[in-house]
Structure 1
């Protein structure tokens, strides 16, 4: 009943403030088209294509499979990690337990986004972008190693799932394009919706409470949609000394938009999301701290 009430409240809020909702949706759509789609789509297609290529044998070493998942999944931007891990589980390359651990570890923004957009355009320093990227990957790798220590027995006992039979008449490239289109649609939908929702709620909070619009908008967009949160932080806090740490914190939080993308893909592949949730809490705390030390 509470969920229904909240949904109706949001519907009414969107009707009352259509111009603000529209402004947020337009902003989200522009961010998706200009900042996400050009980087995300080619990489997802190539990753899916590589994973769908027929293979007569699986990598003998479990660490080679982990490295494959991390390299393919962690350097293409959100939610390529979830796409990669889900596909490897369907192929029978990793077990159910391994897939849940890798889902938590193979989750990072793309290097082009961090180094090119955040580092070069926002920080005005490519070196700062590299430092933030290193902090993110250090936190991910540390978390995965910790999980392996605590869950070693469960991982050893887990038997990989048999690979899913694929239609031999469909080429790997066509299959990758088809699957990638659904992922891109998921990303676009969540980015636009949560950008609009965050925009509406930030105006509501600022009108009800004596809170500066820049603060409320940045905080709410950081919770709902990462890229919009980064943009808002840049508009309102780019001249502050805390600005680099604020950007690092927003990126480590990821936002509901990205979390829902990952959870949707994980659910479709039957992967547990508990390690992912723990991993996001870990990164939210550790990434800004590591960035401070490196910065």
Structure 2
């Protein structure tokens, strides 16, 4: 039975790569429906796990950031920050200063905040679609809560390793954006919109209501993808999909250790949290696990890509290009992680556990986020006042 379902899934995937994409999606949905009927108890439990993950972890982590960021954009705070960072952003990534703003916000809040902020800026006509694509090459990142807390402390039992992964992840994002700038034509991708200096009467209540409404809708989309992919992962495990794939690769004379890594990467690329957990439980060396986890965190997984696709659906951003960005981000992060491990540029023992509580406390993180925004806004206004005189 499992082999039969495996063959159907592979055949369906081959159809998807041809001109019969629509039919393959229909067949896939029917197959998933069949598996839901065959494994109702397992599907129900995985859906519950997905709901718990979304409601107790994702919503408390992301919803406040989404609401605050939407309000900041409506109040035109990013404009001042954008002007201050414009020279640096143009030099590194060939974007306006909004690129630096999205990058900073994404560092704090993690996936898929970078995509959400970029979509909001495009809808507000602050940036063009082309600039949005360029910004996403370096501003779609995971946050310290997940990398240092969940992966470093929770999965690898060492918060210092979480810092190591976080640094590799961020350096990979910066490298990705810089390389994309080098390999694309220089052209005017900025919006010809004058920055507003007028003092209008701001209806804070109206802005707050709209920000909450939009942010709740976005969180709802994210929850749907988390639940769906939780069920899909469970169904694939129940039909031994990756076990059969591993056996098939071995029969094709692919060395067992390589086939194991291929199956692990494929399984891990479905959903980032589950993927990092799978890799952390491997019997491989710590350095190998670190490199693989670094790739998976930066690639983000198909669940996150699905969430981003939903968020960017109205922006006309090329999703295939975004997936390519995440793939190269993963490669750069893994490469940087490998280099740092080889040359020992980062001594993880220098980090003390007392700093972990500061990074992992959501209240402190939110306060730091707001303080940073306030400081950047004040600095930018001071900077341009000095330039005027």
**Aligned partners of 1:162 and 1:264: how far apart in 2?**
30
Task: Output the CA distance in 1 between the equivalents of 2:135 and 2:129.
Answer: 10
- The 3 A distance-change label for structure 1 pair 215 and 152 is closer
Q: Scaled by the length of structure 1, what TM-score is found?
A: 0.85
> Which digits, 9 at most, give the CA deviation of each residue in 1:154-174, with x for residues without a partner?
3x25544799xxx96962221
1:100–1:20 CA distance, 2 compared to 1 (3 A)? same
- Aligned in 2, Cα 1:211/1:157: closer, same or farther, shift over 3 Å? closer
Give me the CA root mean square deviation.
Answer: 3.1
Deviates more, 1:176-185 or 1:51-60: 51-60
Summarize deviations over 1:23-76 as a string: whole Å, max 9, x none.
Answer: 322222232234322212222222222112156967446433221121113321
Q: Secondary structure at the residue paired with 1:153?
A: coil
Equivalent position of 2:311 in the other structure: 265
The unaligned stretches of length 5 or more in structure 1 are none
Q: d(CA) in 2 for partners of 1:285 and 1:207?
A: 23
Alpha-carbon distance in structure 1 between the residues aligned to 2:339 and 2:147: 18
Match of 2:141 in 1: 108
Q: Note the C-alpha offset of 1:112.
A: 1.4
Equivalent residue for 2:239?
A: 204
Tell me the matched-pair count: 289
Asked if residue 174 in structure 1 is aligned to residue 220 in structure 2, the reply is no
Structure 1, 246-255 or 66-75: larger mean CA deviation: 246-255
1:5 aligns with 2:50: no
Q: Is the CA contact (8 Å cut-off) linking 1:203 and 1:217 kept in structure 2?
A: no
Corresponding residue for 2:38?
Answer: 16
Give TM-score scaled by structure 2 length: 0.66
Matches within 5 A, 1:75-86: 75-86=108-119
Q: 1:225 to 1:210 in 2, by over 3 A?
A: closer
- Confirm whether residue 185 of structure 1 aligns to residue 220 of structure 2: yes
Alignment map for 1:100-249 (pairs within 5 Å): 100-154=133-187, 156=188, 159-160=191-192, 171-205=206-240, 209=244, 219=265, 221-234=267-280, 236-237=281-282, 241=286, 242-249=288-295
CA distance in 2, matches of 1:158, 1:42: 29
Kept in 2: contact 1:118–1:129 (CA 8 A): yes
Larger Rg: 2
